[in-house]
Amino acid sequence: MSDIVEKTLTALPGLFLQTPGAGGPAAARAPFSSRLGGLIRGITALTSKHEEEKLIQQELSNLKAAVSAPTTTLKMMKECMVRLIYCEMLGYDASFGYIHAIKLAQQGNLLEKRVGYLAVSLFLHESHELLLLLVNTVVKDLQSTNLVEVCMALTIVSQIFPQEMIPAVLPLIEDKLQHSKEIIRRKAVLALYKFHLIAPNQVQHIHVKFRKALCDRDVGVMAASLHIYHRMIKENSSGYKDLTGSFVTILKQVVGGKLPVDFNYHSVPAPWLQIQLLRILRLLGKDDQRTSELMYDVLDESLRRAELNHNVTYAILFECVHTVYSIYPKSELLEKAAKCIGKFVLSPKINLKYLGSHSGSSTPDDNN
């Protein structure tokens, strides 16, 4: 089954690239598709802000006519949308185009839908009244058999979604948590993270599913669940102390190089993941001796392993040191951490000096 999906996906780019190649449509399309280029060249040729304003207003009135004309095809609409995004980025109002962006996301084929969703995520905000019109499209796409559409819908949910409509899509997204494709599981976790951010009481009942995501065999899904855990532990660390063992195990595996080699960044294994885990451990171990004792080994190991002189290893070292300072103190670790900060402050790299001296102010006293 997955071979068929792969074959189909491999064939897709070829199919889509063929259409511009066709003779007649291409000739008509070419001047249209270079209109963004023309607009930009026009702007860069101008010298004053006043002229730029005039040109953009002219462009915007052309676009207004184009988007409301009944003869505009979806393809042309896509092109108009890109120019609208550009104008909005420069600071000019293009609110007449918002409804058309939603329409594009609703009715377009894959490419057009993608531009439609992109435009919606850039133009609208969470309390915008037009956003409600998008909900139906999102629900439809979440139930689609086309994986790319599901991905796009999940992405837009995690970027911008009205709070009152969460109950409408929540069961669909919970369903996706068990999908066979890891990218969909990962996006579903991220969408739920977004829900947790805007309406935590609505996702209370699915904490059990987050635990499953934490133990997921795919590293991406597991890493996505860490965002949620970081937030929840920040709010209430005592509820999650039982997970300390799992986080320590995961960090041990990352530091020990057990992840697939894809996760190496300049031969450092998954640095951002390490940083995230260290932050979570910091929250869990604060003022708690028993929990902190579970972490000493892995912190020691991280300090030892981060020997390479790359920017990102400094980031990991910095996090390690902070964690060592925040949890229940252990003297050998504190000594190593202090040496590390010393090296930072003495380093010729200005960023490290700044961070080193900044963190010096948060060193704990020796009294406890």
Partner 1 sequence: MIQAILVFNNHGKPRLVRFYQRFPEEIQQQIVRETFHLVLKRDDNICNFLEGGSLIGGSDYKLIYRHYATLYFVFCVDSSESELGILDLIQVFVETLDKCFENVCELDLIFHMDKGGLSAAPARAVSAVKNINLPEMPRNINIGDLSIKVPNLSQFV
Interactions with partner 1, residue window 196-225 (CB under 8 A): 219-221, 223-224
265 phi and psi, to 5 degrees?
-115, 110
Interactions with partner 1, residue window 273-292 (CB under 8 A): 273, 275-276, 279
- Are the C-beta atoms of 247 and 277 separated by less than 8 Å? yes
- Rounded to whole angstroms, what are the CA distances from 346 to 41, 238, 307, 339? 49, 38, 16, 11
Q: Which is nearer to partner 1, 223 or 295 (CB)?
A: 223
Q: Is 122 in the site for partner 1 (CB under 8 A)?
A: yes
Alpha-carbon radius of gyration of the chain: 26
Interactions with partner 1, residue window 28-47 (CB under 8 A): 36-37, 40
The only residue of 271, 299, 306, 337 in contact with partner 1, by rule CB under 8 A: 271
The only residue of 62, 72, 106, 159 in contact with partner 1, by rule CB under 8 A: 159
Q: Which is nearer to partner 1, 31 or 171 (CB)?
A: 31
The only residue of 1, 10, 217, 236 in contact with partner 1, by rule CB under 8 A: 10
Interactions with partner 1, residue window 45-104 (CB under 8 A): 78, 81-82, 85-86, 88-91, 93
Q: Which is nearer to partner 1, 290 or 343 (CB)?
A: 343
Find where tokens 């951002």 sit: 272
Residue spans of alpha helices (H) in the chain: 2-21, 23-33, 35-45, 49-68, 74-90, 98-107, 110-123, 131-142, 147-159, 166-176, 182-198, 207-214, 219-235, 244-255, 271-285, 289-305, 311-326, 331-346, 350-360
Number of residues that bind partner 1 (CB under 8 A): 71
What minimum distance in Å lies between the beta carbon of 167 and partner 1?
A: 22
Q: Which is nearer to partner 1, 15 or 208 (CB)?
A: 15
